[in-house]
Amino acid sequence: MTQPDFDIERAAHTRGLVYIAGVDEVGRGPIAGPVTAAAVILDPENIPDGLNDSKKLTAKRRDAAYDVIMASAQVGIAHCTVAEIDEHNILRAAHIAMLRAVAALPVAPDHLLIDGNMIPQNCPLSAEAVIKGDGKSLSIAAASIVAKVTRDRIMVDLAQQHPGYGWDSNAGYPSKSHVSALQNLGVTPHHRRSFKPVHNILCRA
């Protein structure tokens, strides 16, 4: 199994680009909660061990990696709300969150490595899209970890406010128990009204 490395970043450094930010988002598939993005500029002299695509790490390892990344790297975190997702569509909202995360970086990056096959519209910086980037680039892997841990913690907090939907375990994804709770308990302000399971219930109401 291949591991992400720093090759793409080093190639950018050889072109004279200094601050290289990996950018990733999490939360396109859920039917509840925000979409969250992170941008991370790793210190080439102090790259944390154990970075990988957040989906390949256990929750315990993600939390440990998150702490190390936050302590050793430049990090920007941002979100798009449920209302913005419903207004723009999820892809556009994810891209907006990515650009907000880049803008939140404490250092202005020289180049962006964007996870996926598209560079966000109106991206003001030099950027390249990296398909399955969280498995190729350590900077994108770090961004995937920060975004995932941040969003999961948001959903745990929301689960306390709206018990019964299981957001602390399903993170807002349409699990069988979540959809069942949606039908029995109704739609909350944190549900995405443009997503089919929620839209269908609202249409029946």
pLDDT in tens, 26-80: 999 999 999 999 999 999 999 999 899 999 999 999 999 999 999 999 999 999 9
Distances in Å between the alpha carbon of 103 and those of 100, 126, 140? Answer: 5, 14, 16
pLDDT at 1 (0 to 100): 55
Distance CA 168, CA 35 (A): 16
> What CA–CA distance (Å, rounded) separates 54 from 186?
31
Name the amino acid, one letter, at 37: A
Q: What confidence tier does 119 reach under pLDDT thresholds 50, 70, 90? A: very high
Kindly state the DSSP code that residue 188 receives in the 8-state scheme: -
Question: Could you tell me the pLDDT band of residue 200, with boundaries at 50, 70 and 90?
Answer: confident
Q: Please name which of 169, 173, 160, 205 lies closest in space to residue 187, comparing C-alpha atoms.
A: 205
Which domains occur in the chain, in start order? Answer: 7-163 (3.30.420.10)
- In the chain, DSSP finds a helix count (H) and a strand count (E) of 8, 5
- List the binding residues: 24-25, 115
Two structure tokens written together for 100:
């907000």
Q: Are 81 and 36 in contact (CB under 8 A)?
A: no
Residues forming the annotated binding site for a divalent metal cation? 24-25, 115
pLDDT of res. 193: 95
